[in-house]
Chain A
Amino acid sequence: MRDDLSVAALVARVGDGDQAAWNELVERYSPLVWSICLRYQLNRQDIDDVGQSVWLLLVENIGNLREAAALPGWLATTTKHEALRVLRAAGRHEHAGLPPEHQMPLNPADTTIEQELIVAERNAALRRAFDELPRRCHELLSLLMSDPPPDYAHISAALGIPVGSIGPTRARCLGRLRRSPHLVGVLGDGARDVEVSETGR
């Protein structure tokens, strides 16, 4: 199944001209590109420009990646460079005159990008695991995650399951999610702390 493919396998298929593999890479990592652009406080036009450049550069260079598994890191670094390029093209690289809160994102520490990367990889793995859950689990967890979360009576009516079985079903579904092969090595003790600790990896 396509979803089981590792990044390295996807990269290899893209090298063979496989558009579906490319689409899968894009689905997995466009949230990473997007979130790094937001860190640099780019406007929408600039974000589109950065996105276009990043993916075009990847098309151009995907055959030259020394280590296919390092693709997410390559994407993060390239997005950062492209964001800085766009800011330079717009003449906004000068810090003078900008309030401090606007200066900071222009030079985010590498650790910040590194954290963004770890969170993005974790998120991509969680989404893949979630997308493969059985439909009932999908529906129940989606309801439980809605904001504000509906009460159990509403969930019971919406899904046609007894109130008493919602709790156990929730636990079973989360158990399945937890055991997903995509999450092997992703949800370790360290992953949870990545946003509060700089020694996440």
Chain B
Amino acid sequence: MLPAGWDDEELLAALREALHARQTVPPEFVEAAKNAFAWHNIDAELAQLTYDSSRDSDYEPSTRAEAASIRALTFTSAHLTIELEVTQDSLLGQIIPAQAGVIKIQPRDGAETEFPADEIGCFSIQPVPPGPFRLHCRTAAGIDALTGWITL
């Protein structure tokens, strides 16, 4: 089809808009998207962030002073929920529904570390990972879930 409806000025303006749309996207946003492909042959289900208390502070101000220092995160996948609490020196978590399993911390670079989750799904991770990481949860029942990247 010939673009009969477009004169040169309109074409140039549309091109400017198209290039501008590309320029406004931060390179690291594009880079992160490219890196997502590393997951293509991983069999785990994605556990998405469904709650983050740190993004919630304007709406539900804490009534207890000590609660202010604890950040709570919830990740949900098709078959699992992972609750996480960030304290000063550790991450406390629980797998729901409660079941035993193994939690792996995968830093962006560096070696994985493993932590056991007990029969009611509770686990404790020390120290708090310093950089971006994700949680890989494999339960005794064979459910495999990976969170997205977490930065505390």
* A residues adjacent to B (C-beta < 8 A): 14, 17, 19, 22-23, 26-27, 30-31, 33-35, 45-49, 51-53, 55-60, 62, 85-86, 88-92, 94, 120, 122-124, 126-127, 130, 141, 144-145, 170-171, 174, 177-178, 183-192
Contacts and interface: CB of A to CB of B under 8 A. Distances in A.
Contacts of B40: 14, 17, 22, 59, 62
Given A23-B34, A26-B33, A30-B25, A174 B55 contact: no
B18 A26 contact: no
B1 A51 contact: no
B21 interface: yes
Contacts of B25: 30-31, 34
Given A31-B22, A34-B24, A90 B6 contact: no
B37 to A, nearest CB: 4
B5 A30 contact: no
A90 B148 contact: no
Given A145-B15, A174-B11, A85 B48 contact: yes
Given A130-B19, A189-B5, A89 B49 contact: yes
B46 interface: yes
B55 A122 contact: no
B29 A51 contact: yes
Given A122-B18, A171-B8, 5 more contacts: A35-B21, A52-B149, A89-B52, A187-B11, A190-B5
Given A89-B52, A192-B5, A177 B11 contact: yes
A81 B6 CA distance: 35
A150 B10 CA distance: 19
B19 A85 contact: no
A86 B74 CA distance: 12
Which 5 A/B pairs are nearest by Cβ-Cβ distance?
A187-B3, A189-B5, A123-B18, A55-B36, A126-B18
Given A90-B56, A91-B60, A192 B6 contact: yes
Interface residues of B, number: 43
A60 B86 CA distance: 29
A141 B8 CA distance: 11
B65 interface: no
Interface in B50-82: 50-52, 55-56, 59-60, 74
A26 B14 contact: no
A60 B34 contact: no
B104 to A, nearest CB: 18
Contact of B37 (A22, A51, A178): A22
Contacts of A188: 1, 3-5
Contact of A19 (B37, B49, B60): B37
Contact of A89 (B4, B46, B50): B50
B41 interface: yes
Given A22-B34, A23-B34, A48 B29 contact: yes
A96 to B, nearest CB: 11
24 contacts: A14-B37, A23-B37, A30-B25, A30-B33, A48-B29, A49-B49, A52-B149, A53-B148, A56-B36, A59-B36, A88-B50, A90-B55, A90-B56, A91-B59, A126-B18, A145-B12, A170-B8, A174-B8, A178-B6, A185-B1, A187-B1, A187-B3, A187-B5, A188-B1
